[in-house]
Each structure stands twice: as structure tokens, then as C-alpha cells.
Structure 1
Amino acid sequence: MAQAAGTSDTYDMKGKAEDFRDVIYTVAKEETPFQKLIGTDYEVTATKHQWQTDTLRAPATNAKPEGNETSFTEVAPTVEVSNYCQISDESFMISNTAEAVKKYGRKSEIKRQTVKKAKELVRDMEYSMVGVKQASSAGSAGTPVRQAGSLWTWLSTNANRGATGANGGYNPATNLTVAPTDGTLRNFAEAQIKDVQQKCFNAGAKPTVIMMHSSVKSTFSGFAGIALNRVDQKVSKTGDAQATILGAADVYQGDFGFLTALANPWQSVRDVALLDPEMWEVGFLRGIKQTPLAKTGDAEKRLVNCEWTLVAKNEASSAVIADVQPTP
């Protein structure tokens, strides 16, 4: 079949309208599971945020005679701990022409980049909290960069580590957290969960969430203590309904309670945390905000930043299984 002579077609046409979908499609993980789990409404008022922890003495035989003359024992004081606020920021610059021209998918390039940078900033915070073993730092006049101690630098009371691994924890002499020492990698195993669950129980802790990197989630789903691996379907009119077998585990039942599984793509691959969400929070000295910067030309400059810290209300409430890898 051939085109008829003299036909005007789109190949010769001028002034054709573009077919441009007025939407921007983004593929990227935006969620921050740890922050969503523990909450971000905690306000702090200084660059060094301090709080106190306490515990009860060990139980003992307690029987006294009638008319007993009471003796007094000094009550152990509370323990003061702290973490430093870390400044995180993103910036961008948009020419005034780029802001003025008509665009597809957004009216304002400044607004689009503000939202994008804020999302990237929150992911950076998540990575700083759970993706690295970042010890806290007060900074100094010569190096004025403060760092918030990450999750892994706090956990020390209830721990299961590979050979040669060592706890970090909070150092009351320096008022800083110390990064743990990585040990020998070993396969992630159910016995490790049982061990730290028992340690938590003996310490009076009640973790309800087990958070792990997505790469070890499939190993976790194969453990025998999985509480639910089938969902019953509603009975049909013919009475032939069958159960659906789930390929992933969301709840683990151990000897000392249930743990809800939470996969986190940003956390350290070799570390698993058992968490009591009520005992952790993100504190903000300054919330996420966009600020216009001084103009030096025909463009708009913007800074998106915040000042935050991780508040470990009592690290003994949680636990760590370190130095693990997916089972082959």
C-alpha cells in the first residue's frame, strides 16, 4: 500500500501540538520506616538534648519483725544521658526564567524541588539513624559539625553479636555514644531472636517490632516461630473456600511475646533490631523548612534544612542482633 500523491501528512506539517502528559512519574523509595514507627513530634530546645533513665533494684527477701527499727539505704540516682542535634540540609538554585516559563507536571519549579529535597532530606536522616554506626559528636570551634548518635551506637544492654564483635553504647564520662565493633558475619538464625527476646524479658523490656534490612526478610519468613502464615478466606456459597498461604511473615511469636516484622531498605544490612517504639523518638530543634537565600543574580536560591537528634529514652528497652547475613 502506498500513500496517494499530493497527500499532506504530519511529517511535513508545522505547528503540531505536543502530546505531553502533564504528570511527572517518580520511582524511588520515599518511606522512612524507622521514623514512621517511632514518631517525630518530640521537641528539643538546645543543641545538646539531655534526659534521664532509671531502673528498679533487684528483688530480695523482705520480711521484717514487729516493731522493727527501720534502716535506710540510699536510693540509686537516675542516670543522665544525652544526644547532640545534627544539622542536615539540601539546596538548589532555579533561574527566574525556568520558574517563569510554562511547564508540564508542575506550575512552580521551586515548589517541585522543595518537595523533592525535603523527601531526600528525610531519607538522609533515616540513613543516619539506622544505616550507619554513627557515634555522637559535640563538634568543636575548629570543627563545628555535630552528629547525632545512631540507633546501633546506643544498643548495648541486650545484644547478640558475632565472634569478635563488641558493644558500643553511651559513655557517661564523655557524654557521647560509641560505635560498636563489627564481628564475624554469621547466618541469621531464629536462635538469635530467642536469645535477645529472653535478655529483654529478663531486663523488663517489651519490644514489639523486629526491624531488619529487606535482604534478610526472606530468611526471617522461614523461621518456625512465625505466628501466621495462612489467611482463611470467607466461605463461598459452594462451601469450597481454601486458605491462602502467605509467602512472607509479618508476625513472629516467641517464648516472650509477639514481634511485628518491619523491613527497612535504609538500615544496616548486617544488623537487626528488636524495638519498643515508645522508647525512641526523633527530636527536632528546628523542623524541616525552606529558606530563600540572598540573591546574587537572575536566579532564586533555596536552602532546605533541619536540626534533629535521636532520643533513646532507655536503650535497655530494645535489643540488637549484629553481624548477620541472609541464609543461603
Structure 2
Amino acid sequence: MAPTSQYLSSADLKAVNDGGLIREDVMDQIWDISKIPLPYTDLVGSDSCDNAYFEWTTDKLSDPEIGGWVVDGADSDKNDSSTGARLGNHCGILDKEVQVTGRARASDTIGRGDELSYQVMMRQRELRRNVEANALGIQGSQEDDGDATPGIPAGLAAMVTQFDTGSGAAGGGFAAKAWTEITPGARVPLTETMVRDAQQDAYLDGADPTVLMSVPGVIRKLSEYMFTSSSRIATLTRETQGITGGGSATAVGSVNVFITDFGQTLTFRDNRIQQIYEDSAAAAAAAVFLLDPAYARITFLRGYRVNPLAKTGDADKRQMLVDWSNRVMNPDAHRVLLDIDPTAAVTFDGA
């Protein structure tokens, strides 16, 4: 073989200062795996409000009672009227800002036409994810004072009826026009009994939750439990058809629907946007929601928008903004199990 000094190789071309003479082979497309659904937002839908603090009213029938007979012709001396309750929430503003120089916009970039348009599109997606994450949080509500204190909408965990998991969690509930923040307790494993009891508690209140939503780790552990002998629910095999005739068989490795004791179909929904929070010992914990989608909304004072900002030089500025809140029509329509350990195996009753 001839010595390298006698021929020009691709290595020689790459070695030319600065950056070599071989064109880079870069696909003119951006592959983004983060464009994922927003399960809670898509599930409950949206409505609007006219003020930064907005209210609504709730009511429900009284519990059935035994007795209460009246004598024929007796005068009426009772008042069974009920006022119900008045609830409210504060709106909060979330935003993203971008600044792109004139030269950056004029440059021939990979995978996008105009750099400013691309940045606006991506930051708007991030903003929608932030709304989803905060909507499912444990924070209480806070009024905007127009100075240093921003408005904060209460998270769903603070607004819906809690079912006691034995973790020692406290907080939640509405008083004096504010929702109280959740103070986490010590995390506990999820049990089938917790889910059944919470569903029964809601059912006796007149509610019919149809969706169980939590972080992926909890949903996986719940599905894995459904295949165990103690669950009495699912088996690792099922009947398949068409195998002898050349058809294909399907391996089923998960359970995502649970028919409750009271006839409801409870669908398991994992939410990759829902956030883990810290329990009282700073360990990872998660909320598990039993939801009736008809009784919750994402509420907008100002919907998603793009505001051009004043130019102060050779750069274009944009602000992506949304002014929004949570609305839970009736807290008793839902249940939340707090401080669930997303890494622990699900059991029947914790034994």
C-alpha cells in the first residue's frame, strides 16, 4: 500500500483548518419525543371566568333518614331549606419569554424555517405542560397583591375530597376564600382496599368517579398487582383465537380497567406530566386521583397568547402567557389518596 503522503484522504479533508472541507451530513429535521398528551387537561375540558378571583356554588341532597312521620293535618313548623356552599379560586399567570436576534432569524438553521417561530412554538408547548403539572399539584390558593405576591390557583389535590390513607397528610379544604395547601405525611404503599374504600366513600356521597389517574410508577404497580394471586382479578393468560388457523396471538401484560363493586368502570390513566412531591421525610410521594371528569375544569381568564415585546436592539422578543385556574364543581365528586409511594408494590390491604 502506498504511503499516506502519496494520496489525499478524507482524513486530510477533515483536518483542514477550521472545521475541515467535508460537509456535515445532518438531517434537516428535529426529532422531539416530548410532544406528549396532557391527560388531565384533555379529560376535563375548559371554561372561562371574568375576574382573577371567581366563585361557584355547590349543593347536594341531604342523607336519607328513617322516621320523620307527620300527623294528618298538622301545622308545618319545619324548614328543610339548604343553602349549599360557595367556593372560589384565584387565577395565576404562567409565562415563557424568548429573544431571538435578527442574525439568528436570517441564518439557515437545521430543521426550522424561522428561529423565532420555532422558539415560540416550543415554549408554548412547555407552557401547556406547566399548566397540567400545576393543575394536579398540592398547593393551596393565593391572591395576587399586585406587588411581590403572585396569584396561585389551588392544585387539584387541595380541592377534592381526601380519603385517609393513614399517612398523616393534612390540609386541603376551602375557607375564607382560600384553599389550604396540603402538608404531606409519611408515604404509604397503595392498596386495593384503599381504592375500593375511596370509591365506596364517593359512591355513598352520590358521586361516580370513572378515572383513576396518577404518575406512571403508581399505575404500573397497580397493573402488576392485578396479575397476582391475591388480587383475584386477572390472570397471566387469556383465550386467543385464530392461532391454529394462522392468526396471531396477543400477549396482554397490563390491566387498565377495573369494574368496581358498585358498577362503575374505573379506567387507569397514567400521567407523565403529573409531578412527584416530597413527603414529610423528603421521600418521593404521589397523589392518586379518582375523578369524575364532568365535575372539573381548567378555567381561563386569558387563554394562551403570544405578546410581542418592545424591541430594544437587534432582537425580536415574545412573551407566551396564560392566565388560568382550577375549577372543581363539587369536591365530593372526586377522591384523592395522598402520599402514595410510587415505588412500592401494591397489596390487597397492606398486610
TM-score (norm 1): 0.88
| Residues 1:159 and 2:166 are matched in the alignment | no
What is the deviation of 1:188?
Answer: 1.1
Indicate conservation of the 8 Å contact 1:226/1:249, yes or no: no
- Residue 193 of structure 2 aligns to a residue whose secondary structure is helix
**Alpha-carbon distance between aligned partners in 1 of 2:34 and 2:297, rounded to the nearest angstrom:** 25
Q: Is 1:199 the equivalent of 2:204?
A: no
The residue that corresponds to 1:87 in the other structure is 93
Deviation digits for residues 182-224 of structure 1, max 9, x if unmatched? 2222211111101101101110110000011111222201132
One-letter amino acid of the structure 2 residue matched with residue 278 of structure 1 = A
Residue 311 of structure 1 is aligned with which of 311, 327, 330?
A: 327
The change in CA–CA distance for 1:20 and 1:240 in structure 2 (over 3 A counts) is closer
Alpha-carbon distance, 1:95 to partner: 0.3
In the alignment, the residues of structure 1 paired with residue 185 and residue 56 of structure 2 have an alpha-carbon distance, to the nearest angstrom, of 31
In percent, how many aligned pairs have the same letter? 28
Q: Could you say which residue in structure 1 is the equivalent of 2:314?
A: 298
- Cα offsets for 1:212-246 (capped at 9, x unmatched): 1111222201132657976654425x347686442
* 2:325 paired with 1:286: no
Partner Cα separation in structure 1 for residue 30 and residue 259 of structure 2: 43
2: CA distance between counterparts of 1:107 and 1:124? 26
Deviation at 1:67, TM superposition (A): 4.8
Whichever residue aligns with residue 59 of structure 2, its letter is D
In 1: Cα distance, 2:164 partner to 2:232 partner: 18
Superposed CA offset, 1:239-258 (max 9, x none): 47686442222111221222
Shift in alpha-carbon separation, 1:152–1:45, aligned structure 2, 3 A: same
* Aligned 8 A contact 1:83 1:311 in 2: yes
Structure 1 residues 285-304: Cα deviation after superposition (integer angstroms, max 9, x where no partner): 11111111000001101100
The structural deviation recorded for 1:32 is 2.0
**Which residue in 2 is equivalent to 1:56?**
61
- The residue number in structure 2 matching 1:327 is 344
Name the SS of the counterpart of 1:45 in structure 2.
Answer: coil
Give the drift of 1:126.
1.5
Q: 1:33 aligns with which of 2, 26, 39?
A: 39
2:287 to 265, 271, 283: 271
Query: Is 1:162–1:323's contact at 8 Å kept on the other side of the alignment?
Result: no
Which residue of structure 1 lines up, in the alignment, with residue 242 of structure 2? 235
Q: Which range moved further: 106-115 or 137-146?
A: 137-146
Find the aligned partners of 1:276 and 1:260 in 2 and give their Cα distance: 11
CA distance in 1, matches of 2:209, 2:335: 8
Instruction: State the number of aligned residues.
Output: 322
Within 2, Cα distance between the matches of 1:282 and 1:80? 18
Distance (whole Å) between structure 2 residues aligned to residue 35 and residue 114 of structure 1: 21
CA RMSD of aligned residues (A): 2.6
The aligned counterpart of 1:45 is: 50
Corresponding residue number in structure 1 for 2:222: 220
User: Is it true that 1:246 corresponds to 2:246 in the alignment?
Assistant: no
The alpha carbon displacement at 1:57 in A equals 1.4
Residue 45 of structure 1: how far off its partner (Å): 1.2
Match of 2:142 among 128, 137, 156: 137
Shift of 1:19: 2.6
Tell me how far apart the structure 2 counterparts of residues 228 and 81 of structure 1 sit (CA, whole Å). Answer: 45
Q: What is the match of residue 209 of structure 1?
A: 211
Scaled by the length of structure 2, the TM-score of the pair is 0.83
Q: 1:24-71 CA distances to partner (integer Å, 9 max, x unpaired)?
A: 12233633221121113x111111121111101122346556555545
Q: Give the whole-Å Cα distance in 2 for the aligned partners of 1:188 and 1:235.
A: 38
Q: Does the 8 Å contact 1:51/1:81 carry over to 2? A: yes
Gap change, CA 1:170 and 1:91, over 3 Å in 2: same
Provide the C-alpha distance between the structure 2 equivalents of 1:230 and 1:94, rounded to a whole number of angstroms.
56
Structure 2 CA distance for aligned equivalents of residues 163 and 186 of structure 1: 6
Match of 1:169 among 145, 169, 173: 173
CA contact (8 A) 2:94 2:322 kept: yes
Measured against aligned partners, the alpha-carbon deviations of 1:240-281 in whole angstroms (never above 9, x if no partner) come to 768644222211122122210011122344211100011111
Q: Is the 8 A contact 1:227 1:253 kept in 2?
A: no
Indicate conservation of the 8 Å contact 2:143/2:151, yes or no: yes
CA contact (8 A) 2:165 2:194 kept: no
Measure, in 2, the Cα distance between the counterparts of 1:313 and 1:227: 35
